[in-house]
Amino acid sequence: MQNYKGLKVLYVGSPPLFGKGASSIHMMKMCQAMSNLGIQVELVLPGNFPKESLFTYYDVTPSFDVKTIRFTYKFARQIVHGIASAFYARSNRKKYDFVLTRNLMFAYISTIYFGIPTIYDAHHPPISKRAANMIRDFSGSKHFLGMSFNSNGLKKIYARSRIEPEKSVVAHNGVEVDKFDTSLDKNELREKLILPRNSIIVTYSGNTYEGRGIEYLIDVANNMRDIEFLVVGGTEDDNSIYKQFVRQIGMNNIKFTGYVEQKKVSQYLLASDILVMPYSKKVTIKGGKDAAKFTSPIKLFEYMAAERPIIATSIPPVMEILRDGMTAVIIKPDSARELEKAIRAIIKDKNVSMFIAKNARRQIVDYTWEKRVEKIIEGLNVVEKLG
């Protein structure tokens, strides 16, 4: 693991806080990882809240500073916070070496107008033609250190922005491996989580937006009444339609936990026997946007760290990470029968199950949050560019 002691980074983050989205989790884990690598980090956030609650909620070590900028513009949070943070960054220029951000407005102002060395960390395509033009404009600035992408698919989408190759790097999302202690007793975890001790448990973890394949999981659960199925996560609104259907057909072997605090997610995964990602060809994220070509689900890396056999569909972002028969069982999307067949095969063949689970765990060393930070800094030659 690299040591960047002496390097100072300002991270400008603007996601909704204390909610159920992955963006804020990503932000907090990245700041913690930079701190673990010896980097002095200051995180700039919108709002006004006790800073201790932030570290507790996201289950991260309070090893970095947090600066809050208070304002009440909820509708234009990204824009207003981007502008306010740019002025804060300019006023405190001597406190850091460069800025890492997912805020487009900040990246635009900081590079073009304020001369601040900035990395833009992209996690979705430009949301409009105006956004695409802004990226094209600031990517030509000498103060633009580069852009990181969370998947190869996203990098291909941005190819039309004509970003120089030396200013782009793919750094997939990551996982905090030490949160996944595979030596923990499965039965003790089940007792703690009030799960059946002697049943086979198949688990899906994450949001339950359209395209996550929850309907196929319910279909399979209906055919496999002797197996317990668990859906960890999702809002009440997103889960309600599925729960209503389950009640109507009289199923009692599938449970929806609803939102689970971050530190408990690993416990549910470690208490399970099989982990599934039955994504459809069209995978939506918040707002209903199709993300099948560029998403980088944090749950994928959590599954690998849990050392449980994984069943996943063959959408492009998954295929960037997993290999059929080596680190997962890969199936066609949008097929309950394929999913059921894969579950039955894993239950039947313990050797294959153990082989793919252990292989995935061994490969997770390449997908920690610290490794993601290293890929960005080294891939963009940041230290060399800063002189």
pLDDT in tens, 87-135: 999 999 999 999 999 999 999 999 999 999 999 999 999 989 999 999 9
pTM listed for this prediction: 0.93
Report pLDDT for 135: 94
Note whether 270 and 186 are within 8 A (CB): yes
Q: Is the pLDDT of residue 291 over 90?
A: no
What's the mean pLDDT when you consider all of the chain?
A: 93
Contact present, 64 and 43 (Cβ < 8 Å): yes
Q: With 80 as the cut, is the pLDDT of residue 213 above it?
A: yes
Map out the domains of the chain with their CATH numbers.
8-173+368-386 (3.40.50.2000), 177-367 (3.40.50.2000)
User: How far apart, in whole angstroms, are the C-alpha atoms of residue 103 and residue 340?
Assistant: 41
Question: Does residue 58 contact residue 24 with C-beta atoms inside 8 Å?
Answer: yes
Question: Could you give the CA distance from residue 32 to residue 128 in angstroms, rounded to a whole number?
Answer: 32
- pLDDT value of position 215: 96
In tens, the pLDDT along 153-205 reads 999 999 877 788 889 999 999 999 999 999 999 999 999 999 999 999 999 99
Residue 304 pLDDT grade (very low, low, confident, very high; cuts 50, 70, 90): very high
- What's the DSSP call for residue 102? S
Residue 72 has pLDDT above 90, yes or no: no
- From residue 289, alpha-carbon distances to 58, 104, 126, 272 in Å are 26, 18, 12, 30
Q: What is the pLDDT of residue 257?
A: 96
- Using CA atoms in the order 359, 365, 367, 370, what is the torsion angle rounded to 10 degrees? 170
> Average of pLDDT values for 77-96?
94
Please report, as a single letter, which amino acid is at residue 56.
T
Is residue 42 within 8 A of residue 64, CB to CB? The reply is yes
Number of H helices, E strands in the chain: 16, 13
Q: Which residue pairs from 23-30 have beta carbons closer than 8 angstroms and sit at least 24 positions apart in sequence?
A: 23/102, 23/123, 24/58, 25/58, 25/262, 25/298, 26/123, 26/173, 26/298, 27/102, 28/54, 28/55, 28/58, 28/60, 29/58, 29/60, 29/174, 29/176, 29/369, 30/100, 30/369, 30/372, 30/373
Q: Provide mean pLDDT across the span 339-353.
A: 97
CA atoms within 13 A on the CB side of 91: 6
Contact criterion met (CB below 8 Å) for 106 and 99: yes
Q: Are strands 144-149 and 118-122 parallel, antiparallel or unpaired?
A: parallel
- Residue 194: left if φ>0, alpha if ψ -120 to 50, beta else—which one? left
> DSSP letters along 30-63, please?
HHHHHHHTT-EEEEEEES---HHHHHHHTT----
Report the pLDDT averaged over residues 274-278: 98
pLDDT above 70 covers a percentage of the chain that reads: 98
Q: Taking residues 35-57, report their average pLDDT.
A: 93
Q: Are 65 and 41 in contact (CB under 8 A)?
A: yes
